[in-house]
């Protein structure tokens, strides 16, 4: 089954290369397309964080990218499947990022901690509600905490 999606915005960022770390040092905006009416953005600035769904246009599809690999090619970490990591090379090239809202001016949403490169097409933006986050105790693979050091 095929699906059709459309971009509603693009990322405007100082990060132009696909690199893994130091995302908070970047300047990041989501600039909504002209066909997105301003009324669609009313109330968005009332939220501290948003979830952003994007299309990884600079990534490889899986397959041919590996279904299983060592995150970042690190030999100290175990080989895990693509669904046990957050790598950009995914079966449908979909990315999800949670970022802090700095400001909304017209069609420009300024964010902190958006881990998407300049020009990335945005498919959707959703506010983070107090009840829409994690529920229950969080459990993570030990290597994932090491991977996250210096990410933001």
- The pLDDT value given to residue 95: 92
- The pLDDT value given to residue 132: 87
The CATH-assigned architecture of domain 9-148 is: Beta Barrel (2.40)
Report how far apart, in Å, the C-alpha atoms of 47 and of each of 60, 72, 112, 114 are. 33, 33, 13, 15
104: helix, strand or coil? strand
| Distance, CA of 88 to CA of 91 (rounded, Å) | 9
- The pLDDT value given to residue 87: 81
- The pLDDT value given to residue 60: 77
| Threshold 0.75, pTM exceeds | yes
Residue 101's beta-bridge partner residues?
Answer: 111
CB 35 within 8 A of CB 138: no
pLDDT profile of the chain (152 residues), mean per 10? 93 73 70 98 97 91 84 91 87 92 97 92 96 86 81 61
Residue 69's beta-bridge partner residues?
Answer: 80
What ranges do the domains of the chain cover?
9-148
User: Could you check whether the bond before residue 64 is cis, i.e. omega within 30 degrees of 0?
Assistant: yes
Angle, CA 82 vertex, CA 80 and CA 84 arms, to 5°: 60
């Amino acid at each position: 089954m095929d699906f059709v999606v459309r971009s509603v915005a693009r990322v405007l960022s100082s990060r132009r290369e696909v690199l893994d770390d130091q995302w908070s040092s970047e300047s990041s905006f989501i600039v909504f397309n002209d066909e997105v009416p301003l009324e669609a953005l009313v109330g968005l600035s009332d939220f501290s964080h948003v979830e952003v769904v994007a299309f990884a246009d600079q990534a490889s599809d899986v397959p041919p990218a590996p279904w299983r690999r060592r995150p970042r090619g690190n030999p100290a970490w175990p080989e895990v499947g693509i669904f046990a990591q957050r790598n950009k090379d995914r079966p449908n090239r979909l990315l999800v990022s949670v970022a802090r809202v700095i400001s909304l001016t017209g069609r420009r949403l300024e964010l902190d901690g958006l881990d998407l490169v300049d020009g990335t097409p945005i498919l959707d933006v959703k506010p983070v509600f107090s009840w829409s986050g994690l529920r229950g105790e969080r459990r993570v693979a030990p290597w994932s905490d090491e991977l996250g050091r210096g990410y933001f």
